[in-house]
C-alpha cells in the first residue's frame, strides 16, 4: 500500500500533505513554489511510494468554479499525461482555508505564525486529505 498525497494548489504556493504508508494518519508535508511543484512531486515519487494524489478543486461557496480552477485543471492534465500510473483525483476544497485558520487559532499559534501563508497552505492540504480519507470510509 502506498501513500496518498494531497495538493492545495495555489497561484504562487502549493501546500502538500501525505498519509503514512498504511493510510491511517494524514500530516502536513511541505509548501513549495507552484512553479517548482511538478518537478518536486516527481522527485518525491522516486523516494516514496504514492498510490494516489488528491488535489483540491477550487470552487466558490455557491459551487461555481473559482478563478484558480483552470490552472488546477492544466496541472492535472499535465500530470495525467506524464504519470498515468499515479491517479490524481479532484476533491472539493471549499472552506479549507477558513478551517486551516481556525485550526491555527485552536492550537494556540501566535498571530505571527497564523500569518504564515505557507503554513496555511500546508494545513489546508492536510484538511483536504483528512476529508478525503473520511469520505472513503
Residues 63, 64, 66, 71, CA torsion sign? positive
Q: Strand 88-92 to strand 50-57: parallel, antiparallel, or no bridges (unpaired)?
A: parallel
Note the pLDDT of residue 102. Answer: 65
Q: 120 near 100, Cβ under 8 Å?
A: yes
Taking CA atoms, 42 is separated from 25, 38, 72, 125, in Å, by: 22, 6, 17, 18
* Residues of the chain below pLDDT 50: none
- pTM here is 0.85
Looking at the DSSP bridge assignments, the partners of residue 55 are: 7, 90
Q: Where are the domains of the chain?
A: 3-136
A 10 A CB-CB count for 1 gives: 10
The residue behind cell 499535465 is 78
> Topology of 3-136 in CATH?
Nucleotidyltransferase; domain 5 (3.30.420)
Farthest CA pair distance, the chain: 43
Note the pLDDT of residue 82. Answer: 96
Note the pLDDT of residue 40. Answer: 97
- E strand or H helix at 59, and its extent? none
Amino acid at each position: 500500500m502506498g501513500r496518498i498525497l494531497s495538493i492545495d494548489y495555489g497561484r504562487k504556493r502549493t501546500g502538500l500533505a501525505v498519509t503514512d504508508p498504511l493510510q491511517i494518519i494524514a500530516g502536513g508535508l511541505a509548501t513549495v513554489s507552484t512553479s517548482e511543484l511538478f518537478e518536486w512531486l516527481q522527485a518525491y515519487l522516486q523516494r516514496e511510494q504514492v498510490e494516489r494524489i488528491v488535489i483540491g478543486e477550487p470552487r466558490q461557496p455557491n459551487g461555481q468554479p473559482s478563478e484558480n480552477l483552470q490552472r488546477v485543471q492544466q496541472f492535472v492534465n499535465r500530470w495525467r499525461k506524464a504519470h498515468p500510473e499515479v491517479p490524481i483525483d479532484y476533491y472539493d476544497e471549499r472552506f479549507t482555508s477558513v478551517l486551516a485558520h481556525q485550526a491555527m487559532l485552536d492550537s494556540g499559534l501566535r498571530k505571527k505564525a497564523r500569518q504564515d501563508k505557507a503554513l496555511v497552505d500546508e494545513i489546508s492540504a492536510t484538511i483536504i486529505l483528512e476529508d478525503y480519507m473520511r469520505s472513503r470510509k
